[in-house]
Each structure stands twice: as C-alpha cells, then as structure tokens.
Structure 1
Amino acid sequence: MAHECDDCGESFETLTRLRLHDCGDVQSDSLSTATNPNEPPSTDSSPAEKRNASVAELDTLLDRFSDGDVDALHYAVVEFESALSAALEEDSSGDKFRDVFWPYYERVSGKLDEAARAHGWAFLEDVIEAHDPTVEDELPLVTPAIANAVGRYLIRTRLTGGVEAIPVEALEYLDAVAVNADDSDDVAHEEVHAYGWGIGHPDHSVVDHLRARVSEDVFSVSPTLEHTFYADQYAAIDALERLVRDKSVDGTLPRVNRENMSYRRYLLDCVYSLKIDDYWPGMPRYYDWHEEFDYTFELDETVEQRIRDLVEETGFDANLPNDWTFRDLGV
C-alpha cells in the first residue's frame, strides 16, 4: 500500500519513509530539532559537532516517545544512525563510536520493543523496511538495536501465540542480517541468534537457511541452534542431526597446539548448557525472556539419547572421556 504526503504529494512504500522524507513544503513537528529555528543550519560542522548534535536530538526524541509521541521513535532511530556515523568520521579508532553505541543500544532497542508491544508487528516492520540490511554494502549502523527488538518480538510471539504467529518478515530480516553482516559486525551477528525461535515455521524453513550459511557463518549458526532447543527441542534435534551428518558442511577451526576442529563438531557446542540448571542463552541482550514468561526447560530423555547417539555415530566421541557429559562437548 502506497502512502502519500499530504503536503507535497510524493508517494512512499512505507510509513517510515513518508515520515522521514525531506518535504520541501513543510517540515513535520516531530522532526524539529532542539536548535534555534531562526539560525540557519550549519554546513561546515565538524564530526564532533555533528555527533554531539545528533546525540542531543536523540535524547530529545527518546523523551518525546516516552511522553507519547510514537513517531518520534522513528526519527530517534535515524538520529542514532547519524550519531554513530559522525562518531566513525570523527575517530577511526572506534572509541567515539563505542561511546555513542553502548549507552544508546540498550535504550533504543528497549524503546523499539516497547513500541512493538504497544503497536504490534507493523511498527517494527516499518522500521526494518526503512533500515534494510540488504540495500547497501554495509549494514546500517543501527542494525543491532533493530535486530534486538525483532528478536524479542519473535521470542515473545512464539511463547504466546505459537510458531505460526511469527511474521515471516521477522525471520527474513534476521536471516538477512546474518547473511549481509561482515565478520567485524560482532554485535549484529549475536543479535540474530533469536532466529532459532522460528524453528518449525510452516512458511519459512529455518533449517534450510541455517544450512545455506553454516559454512560461512558457523559462529552464529551454532548459538542459533542452541535457541532452537528452547523453542522446540524435538524440531531442534532434527535440525542438529541434519547439519552434523551433512558431510558437505566444510571448514575447520584452527586451534593452538591442538588438532583443528571441524565445523560439524563445533555445532555440537550448541548443547553444552542444556543440562545446566538455571542457564539461559544471553541473547537478545537486555531481555530476560525466561523471567518474563516464568519459562522452564527440561531436556527430554529421548532427545538426550539422540544427541548421544549422534556424537557416537559421527565419531566425535573419540577424544571425549568414556563418561562424557554435554559439558565435554563445549568448545
């Protein structure tokens, strides 16, 4: 559905693009900045000045959202991107970037989650379309915060409405982030682990997508498999068996003073903590989903046996103690 600007008549595919477009006729009140409106905009601001201005505006917009201005959050995401971009321009070492990223990562992702709980998936869908991870050569700098909120929404939806209730677009977004992230995008890679909660979706094969990227992205795939066990341990063991038995999964991990480890063996690390009491995966950050839903987990005996059989069948027990436990499978 197209959305048309009442002032200039331009048409946009999403509400976010409509809200954020540079309309020549009138500027939205939500976009007005905290600066003096009578002063002309600076054209020669230093990176530090740009960063400080964006951070100040980001604070203002987050406060507006807290006061009930929903649209302000869309602009806050844009200002977060601007502040991060200016920080990178200011300091190539990354110190300034981290000074902006870590304080606002939690705040922005938390507000996006709050908006999603209040206004549904449509709000997040609008955001991810405006900050598409597939458009440029690099991910938008705000991707971790958005992926965090999408991951929370995915988990919450699975636990309250079942796997069928998860929007396919949520799964496609997290998978697209994983596929398009550079090796240096550590935080973005971590935030896609919640993708595992889509295991068993009737319209999106999580297992097929994990298989497609396991040889290039094993460090993200393994913890994603860990999440699948908490979502549906029976579907999870099916997925683990398929991937570990697939001899076309190539690649090895170099280890100092030890034999290299195959990716297929590394995948078994995902079961390391399944029998540890009171352990929960750490992603998405800042979200204790197990506390929110008073979630409990107990590994079924048949699933445990299938894991043991898989380890022995593939010969990955050769370097394990005779009485090995799941902790021995940890890497």
Structure 2
Amino acid sequence: MPRDIAPLASALEDATSSEQSDVYSLLAAWNQSIETALDRGGWSRLQEIRGQYLEDVIDFVDTAATADGIDWAFLEECIDGYPPGVGDHHCSSILVNVVARCVIRTRISEGVDSIPPWALEYLAAVTVEDDGEWAWESTAAFGWAVGHPEIAVLNRALERAESGDESWAMGILEHATFADPEAGIDLLERLLNSPDIVEDLLFVSCLHAPFEQDFPDFPQYWEPDTELDYQVEISDDLHERLLAIIGQSIDPDRLKHFDDSYRFDLERAADEYGPANDA
C-alpha cells in the first residue's frame, strides 16, 4: 500500500458506520493523506486518491451526521476543527458536501426556518483559493435558504455579484430557483437590472436545470431523489414572466443571435417584450 494513503485506508477500515467519534479520526487521516500525496505526487496523485476514496469518506461522514436526524451540533463541531477560507487543511471537500446536503434536506423536510444560520454562513465563507473548486461548487446550496428569516439570500447573491463574484451568484441563482422558482426569477430580474453586472445570458442559462429536473447536480455523490419527495413546480404564468424579464432586460439582437443555444424562446422574448413594444 502506498505510504500516502496508509493513514486513510486504516481509518476507513477501523471506522464503524454511524459512529461520530470515528469521523474525527477519519477527517484527520484524510487531511494527512492528501497533504502527503500533494508533497510526493502532486495534483495527479491527489486526483487519484479523490477518485478512489472521496465518495466513501463523504458517505461515512454524512451517515454519521444524519443517522438519527441531522445532527447540526456535530457538523458544527467538525467545521470548527476545519474552518473555511483558511487554506491549511483539505477537509472542505468533504464537509461542504455534507452540509450542502443537509441544507437541502432541511429546506424540503422541515422548512427554511429550520436551517441554522451558521451553516449558511459557513457555505458563504468557502473560497476557491483556500478550499478548492470542488468544495466551492457545492456552496451553491446556500440558495436553498431563500426566504430564511435571518439570512437575506437574494441580497447576499446580488451583493456578491455586484462586487465581482458573479460565478458564486450564478450558483445561488440556480439553487434558489430549485427551492423557490418565483424567488429565483426575482433574483434574475435584479441581477439583469443591476448596472454593476456584466453578464446577462449566462445568468439566464442558470435557470435551465430547474426547468428540466427537480434537483441540482451538486453536491456530488448524492442522489436526493432517492430520499426526498420533491418536485420543482413552475407555472405557465411564471414561465411567461421569465420571458418578459429577459425581453425587457437584454438587447433583442443578442437574444435573437443566441436563441438556438438556450432552452427558452429568446426570440419570442425579444419580439413580444423587447423595447419595440414600449411604444
């Protein structure tokens, strides 16, 4: 067995399913093995270990955190040991995935008010630079907290986009639309009307998935449709409102030029809701 994965393989072998105390040892072993792999084999070796072990480690932590309902206190303790945005550990790829799952589960099963604010602040604090792109992609689950009584999800997404972090706002837009299509379209309208935001059609493309499926593709290694009863419901009126926002906010020539690349009828949006109809 290669030396870099010895601590991780041993921790997995010794761990007992649903045993929270074993999670601490497993996270420490993961962190040690990834650090050693990077030192000795670089990025390619890291990818090999992720491909071989990451799903198993995530599943173990997820099972331990949810065996008797979501144990938010346990997750918070894990995150206190491996906080976001510090760049001195490799556990965010595991913990962000599990927290994101639990945010979505809680929204659907208990309601948005039951999502702890600290979990949302955790997701919002993860960065590509310090935590890695793989972990960062799952932070879009922040969008499932739209309507939260303490965290203004739509305002936060708009502020981040206006300060230059449009990529993060795109993920939030997609997930918020899964959670609450009307709120997601509200956010799209605010984004398209902001003078500080450059992108337009890329934001529109973020709504493709919620119009075609019931759950997002991130967090990975999870099949939410096997455990959660949920369907995205988008009325014809809401669909029409989306076309109106697109037609009123984006240059009609751009809409017609890119019409074939989008699932929405951009040409009709331009013709029926564009500036020519203001007269």
1:165 corresponds, among 114, 136, 161, to 114
The residue that corresponds to 1:108 in the other structure is 57
Task: State TM-score, norm by structure 1.
Answer: 0.72
Q: 5 Å matches for 1:87-166? A: 87-92=37-42, 94-119=43-68, 120-134=71-85, 136=86, 138=87, 140-166=89-115
Larger Rg: 1
SS at match of 1:295: coil
Task: Determine whether 1:235 maps to 2:183.
Answer: yes
Q: 1:308/1:322 Cα in 2 relative to 1: closer, same or farther (>3 Å)?
A: farther
Q: Deviations over 1:301-322 (max 9, x none)?
A: 2321221111111124422349
1:294 corresponds, among 209, 216, 229, to 229
Count of aligned pairs? 261
Cα pair 1:54 1:79 within 8 Å, conserved: yes
The residue that corresponds to 2:275 in the other structure is none
Q: 1:321/1:264 Cα in 2 relative to 1: closer, same or farther (>3 Å)?
A: closer
The residue that corresponds to 1:56 in the other structure is 9
Cα pair 1:80 1:142 within 8 Å, conserved: yes
The CA RMSD over aligned residues, in Å, is 2.5
Taking only the aligned residue pairs, the percentage that are identical comes to: 28
Counterpart Cα distance in 2 of 1:298 and 1:282: 18
Q: Deviations over 1:111-133 (max 9, x none)?
A: 22112212511111111111001
The residue that corresponds to 2:242 in the other structure is 307
Cα pair 1:320 1:328 within 8 Å, conserved: no
Gaps of at least 5 residues in structure 2 are 267-279
Counterpart Cα distance in 2 of 1:197 and 1:246: 23
Task: State TM-score, norm by structure 2.
Answer: 0.84
Counterpart Cα distance in 1 of 2:226 and 2:154: 27
> Could you tell me how far 1:140 is from its partner in structure 2?
2.8
Cα pair 1:139 1:181 within 8 Å, conserved: no
Gaps of at least 5 residues in structure 1 are 1-47, 250-261
> Could you tell me how far 1:102 is from its partner in structure 2?
2.3
> Could you tell me how far 1:210 is from its partner in structure 2?
1.5
Q: 5 Å matches for 1:58-73? A: 58-61=11-14, 64-66=15-17, 69-73=19-23
Q: Deviations over 1:222-260 (max 9, x none)?
A: 1321111121112222222112211112xxxxxxxxxxx
Counterpart Cα distance in 1 of 2:264 and 2:194: 22
Cα pair 2:8 2:26 within 8 Å, conserved: no
What amino acid does structure 2 have at the position aligned with 1:190? E
Cα pair 1:157 1:166 within 8 Å, conserved: yes
Cα pair 1:168 1:203 within 8 Å, conserved: yes
Task: Determine whether 1:83 maps to 2:36.
Answer: no
The residue that corresponds to 1:11 in the other structure is none
